[in-house]
Amino acid sequence: MRTDPTHALPGLDPGPAIAKEISRVAGYEIEDELRAGSSRSGSPGTIAGVDEVGRGAWAGPVVVCAAVTDLTPPPVLQGRGKRTVSLTDSKLLTEAHRASFAEVLPGWLAGHAIGASSPEEIDELGMTEALRRAAVRALESLPVPPDVVILDGKHDFLSRPWRVRCEVKADQRSVTVAAASVLAKVHRDRLMADLDGEFPGYGFADSAGYPSPTHQKTLEESGPTPHHRLSWSYLDDLPRWRHLKKHRDPLAGEGQLSLL
């Protein structure tokens, strides 16, 4: 795979922002733009959608899913009456609908894979690098390496050698990213629910490691578990547990940690 930016595929640059309403139902808008931009080559190549979950949590891993479709219409769910539920950003779906989509998406997708970075990696490397590693693990586990990656958001945390198209609200505009969004969310929620049995009281099954009132109260009383991110600033507000805070030493090189 070539890494020279002069060989970037047409369509990677989203161009100037245009004010427009974004549909709550994901389609192939971004994929179609990429395919149109590469029409001279005769093939759009393989397009992977990537989305993450868990970036802002206090506990648990950050999880990334990479998904590839065959550009066919995505599955829909039967709602109440004659209503149907379409694939979109996981945050716009109910928990039950996310679970139902997670059952049917693997059979519809041309390929998908999950990557993760642990709390220890996040503490050691920082979130940007931990997120990049999780995404690379997912992408490298796909059956076929993608030619283009669609990232949800403004920032390219992936970079070379991947050819990347960044788009805000990509999970509402790209079926491929929406599928990745749902699978990443369901995977991580189930993982955190499993931890709830081992560490009761933190509300992991309900909050998935995010700072809910229950989570904060138990943290103050019992301290962090082995699954908490110890470089996070929440420890600054917990006098009993502040000594556990991990600090990255800027003079010792990337990834060096110390307990102060």
- What is the maximum alpha-carbon separation in the chain? 63
At 249 the pLDDT is 60
Cβ count near 203 (within 10 Å): 21
Residues 64 and 124: their CA atoms lie apart, in Å, by: 18
Percentage of the chain modeled with pLDDT above 90: 75
Judged by DSSP in three states, 166 sits in strand
Triad 174, 177, 183: Cα angle to 5° = 140
The pLDDT mean for the chain works out to 87
Homologous superfamily in CATH for domain 29-199: Ribonuclease H-like superfamily/Ribonuclease H (3.30.420.10)
Which residues fall in the annotated binding site?
Answer: 51-52, 152
At 259 the pLDDT is 40
What are the residue ranges spanned by the domains of the chain?
A: 29-199
Nearest CA-CA partner of 208 in 125, 46, 95, 40: 95
Claim: this prediction has a pTM higher than 0.85: yes
Which residues fall in the annotated binding site for a divalent metal cation?
Answer: 51-52, 152
Residue 75 has pLDDT above 60, yes or no: yes
Residue 4 has pLDDT above 70, yes or no: no
